[in-house]
């Protein structure tokens, strides 16, 4: 799969997670965090999780509630900081 195929390209990079599902995709992200740690991907703590029952109309049309905006802003701020920090690790010495 793409995670394994792009092994060298994603080493020492930062990642953030956005998920959705009946339980907001929480278990999928929980599992992926462990995988990312083993594959040298630094993942930020903040994530954005959408629920099929509250953030979608008829479970098909994406209609997120306004409470996700500050969460997304915080996630992107963390991701930007971590990405800058990880770039210094990738620099040749």
C-alpha pair distances (Å), 10 with each of 52, 55, 90 = 30, 31, 11
Handedness of CA 60, 65, 66, 68 (dihedral sign): negative
C-alpha pair distances (Å), 60 with each of 24, 56, 57, 79 = 14, 6, 6, 29
Cβ atoms 12, 85 nearer than 8 A: no
Whole-number pLDDT of residue 81 = 97
Partners of 15 in the beta sheet?
Answer: 43
pLDDT in tens, 80-91: 999 999 999 887
**Domains of the chain: which residue ranges?**
2-90
User: Whats the size of the chain, residue-wise?
Assistant: 93
Whole-number pLDDT of residue 75 = 98
Note if the pTM is more than 0.75.
Answer: yes
Partners of 62 in the beta sheet?
Answer: 56
Residue 9 predicted with pLDDT over 90: no
pLDDT in tens, 20-60: 999 999 999 999 999 999 989 999 999 999 999 999 999 88
């Amino acid at each position: 799969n793409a995670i394994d195929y792009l092994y060298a390209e994603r080493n020492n990079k930062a990642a953030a997670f956005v998920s959705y599902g009946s339980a907001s995709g929480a278990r999928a992200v929980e599992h992926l965090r462990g995988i990312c740690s083993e594959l040298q991907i630094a993942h930020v703590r903040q994530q954005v999780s959408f629920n099929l029952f509250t953030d979608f109309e008829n479970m098909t049309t994406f209609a997120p509630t306004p409470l996700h905006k500050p969460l997304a802003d915080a996630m992107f701020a963390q991701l930007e900081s971590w990405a800058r920090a990880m770039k210094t690790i990738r620099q040749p010495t």
